[in-house]
């Protein structure tokens, strides 16, 4: 082991003087050149010199850094730094893996086996290794046809254990060229373990789920906006027509957005002409106004309720904002996220970047960025108190509910109610919450229903409004986003005047 004081003081001082001297000469040279450039060039010329300065520093690091550096590491670091300097969370550098995931979403399909999966980052509460777990198979895909079930564990992929693989590594091994094969080892329960050979196919990104609520209300949940979304919503509406629907619920909760074109396409199915959204930029060429066609697929006589929450963002807010400003739908739920900007993606040799190019405005000419869209009727999901959150965290770590579902997979409602009451006594949590958690755990080992009318209070309110109230009358008193914004501005001005 080399101790620092093993070098003689004289020799250490000699090297120090050489290094300090070299550093001083280099620093003086750098300062001299930098000062000369600043004096010789104006601001615009200096900006034009930045690329060459960056290139010089990049080359210098590659040649002189104490350890050998991968050029790709420096490149990606510089790119990430540039976009971080914009202080815009939506303008980012995209690695090759990021671009691959984004392409899967925006293109709406990819080569794979058709499984929703999750993977813990560390050991599970029950002490089991963090294997890949199947959340659900996507209907009519290789995984679904092979009989893979929710709750199955993927122990190996092509003979490689999944315990230490990252999620990105797992996805790269499961996805691939359609027609190629991948073999996975499935563990089901405590004793059943078997291999499954799957042939990859084109997997469509799930974007829409729909069903009838009773015999009169069509329910369509839009998960994200891909190139397939408009067509899938179109198909759902045609199904509703066959069932003689009298109203529609459009569920945009937890929809993080997607393609602008798809948001416009979905709006076009409901709006009878007029503006859907406009985009504005500092470049005139980026400005645009998007309108709907006449004679929509859903007649204006059909009442519509839209569900939104804090997870509704971007493209879903374009739809919600258009429906609200145009008086086409009654909004129920919670204020939306508030992402009012439009990004474009540009590829660069496998990687790429996403850049904010414009802001979008609703039909009443309001940008909702960082403000969100308020619902016409607020129905909040109750927040847990600090004490309840601690109790729930303890319950999760105690693994009580998964253990119950595993031990009694066929438990009847009476047994479930009894177990929920036991947990309520032990942990001080509401019985209703516990019953929902038990239901959700059971759904992990089966195909979950399209909607939850038993515990979803926002959906319950939407159904009540459509069946017991007059939506047309409600919409007459609903305000546009512009009216709400003007009222808010006037209120703020009045409060400012009151201040001494």
For the segment 33-48, the average pLDDT, to the nearest whole number, is 56
Dihedral sign for Cα atoms in the order 451, 457, 462, 464: positive
List 278, 312, 314, 316, catalytic entry: 314
- 293 with 371, same domain: the answer is yes
For the segment 285-296, the average pLDDT, to the nearest whole number, is 93
Q: Which residues pair with 93 in a beta bridge?
A: 353
Q: Active-site residue 464, yes or no?
A: no
Answer with the one of 428, 445, 462 that is the final residue of a domain: 445
pLDDT of residue 383: 82
- For the chain, the domain total comes to 3
- 391 with 352, same domain: the answer is no
Residue 394: its H or E element: helix 386-398
253 occurs within a structural domain: yes
Q: Active-site residue 339, yes or no?
A: yes
Dihedral sign for Cα atoms in the order 227, 230, 232, 235: negative
- 176 with 324, same domain: the answer is no
Q: 439, 431 in Cβ contact below 8 A?
A: no
Answer with the one of 418, 445, 472 that is the final residue of a domain: 445
- 298 with 416, same domain: the answer is no
- 357 with 392, same domain: the answer is no
pLDDT of residue 147: 82
Give the residue numbers spanning the domain of 172. Answer: 109-204
- 135 with 274, same domain: the answer is no
Answer with the one of 414, 445, 476 that is the final residue of a domain: 445
Write out pLDDT tens, residues 384-432: 888 998 998 899 888 899 899 889 988 999 999 999 999 999 999 999 9
- 373 with 255, same domain: the answer is yes
How long is the chain?
A: 500
- 432 with 303, same domain: the answer is no
Write out pLDDT tens, residues 22-35: 443 344 334 444 44
Give Cα separations from 65 to 20, 70, 192 (angstroms): 17, 11, 54
List 312, 336, 339, 341, catalytic entry: 339
- 235 with 257, same domain: the answer is yes
pLDDT-based confidence at residue 281 (cuts at 50, 70, 90): very high
């Amino acid at each position: 082991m080399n101790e620092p004081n093993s070098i003689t003081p004289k020799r250490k001082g000699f090297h120090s003087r050489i290094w300090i001297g070299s550093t001083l000469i280099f620093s003086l040279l750098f300062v001299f050149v930098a000062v000369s450039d600043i004096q010789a060039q104006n601001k615009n010329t200096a900006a034009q010199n930045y690329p060459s300065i960056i290139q010089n520093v990049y080359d210098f690091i590659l040649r002189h850094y104490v350890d050998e550096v991968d050029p790709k590491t420096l490149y990606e670091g510089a790119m990430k730094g540039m976009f971080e300097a914009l202080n815009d969370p939506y303008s980012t550098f995209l690695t090759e893996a990021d671009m691959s995931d984004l392409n899967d979403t925006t293109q709406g399909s990819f080569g794979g086996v058709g499984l929703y999966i999750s993977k813990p980052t560390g050991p599970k509460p029950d002490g089991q290794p963090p294997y890949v777990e199947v959340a659900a198979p996507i209907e009519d895909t290789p995984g679904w046809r092979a009989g893979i079930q929710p709750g199955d564990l993927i122990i190996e992929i092509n003979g490689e254990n999944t315990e230490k693989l990252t999620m990105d590594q797992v996805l790269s091994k499961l996805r691939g060229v359609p027609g190629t094969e991948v073999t996975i080892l499935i563990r089901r329960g405590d004793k059943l373990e078997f291999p499954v050979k799957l042939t990859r196919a084109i997997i469509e990104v799930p974007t829409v789920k729909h069903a009838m609520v009773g015999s009169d209300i069509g329910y369509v949940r839009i998960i994200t906006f891909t190139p397939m979304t408009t067509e899938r919503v179109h198909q759902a509406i045609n199904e509703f027509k066959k069932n003689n629907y009298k109203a529609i619920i459009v569920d945009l909760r937890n929809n993080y957005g997607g393609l602008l074109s798809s948001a416009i396409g979905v709006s076009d199915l409901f709006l009878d002409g007029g503006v859907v959204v406009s985009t504005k930029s500092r470049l005139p060429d980026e400005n645009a106004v998007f309108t709907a066609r006449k004679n929509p697929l859903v007649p204006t006589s059909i009442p519509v309720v839209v569900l939104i929450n804090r997870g509704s963002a971007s493209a879903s807010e374009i739809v919600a904002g258009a429906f609200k400003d145009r008086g086409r739908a009654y909004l129920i739920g919670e204020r939306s996220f508030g992402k009012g900007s439009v990004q474009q993606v540009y590829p660069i040799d496998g990687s790429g970047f996403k850049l904010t190019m414009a802001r979008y405005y609703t039909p009443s000419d309001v940008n909702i960025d960082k403000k969100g869209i308020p619902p016409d009727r607020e129905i909040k999901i109750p927040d847990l108190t600090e004490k309840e959150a601690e109790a729930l965290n303890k319950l999760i770590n105690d693994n009580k509910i998964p253990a119950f579902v595993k031990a009694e997979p066929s438990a009847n409602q009476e047994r479930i109610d009894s177990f929920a009451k036991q947990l309520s006594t032990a942990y001080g949590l509401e019985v209703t919450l516990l019953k929902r958690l038990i239901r959700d755990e059971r759904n992990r080992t089966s195909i979950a229903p399209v909607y939850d009318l038993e515990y979803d209070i926002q959906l319950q309110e939407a159904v009540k409004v459509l069946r017991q109230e007059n939506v047309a009358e409600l919409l007459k008193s609903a305000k546009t986003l512009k009216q709400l914004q003007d009222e808010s501005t006037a209120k703020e001005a009045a409060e400012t005047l009151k201040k001494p």
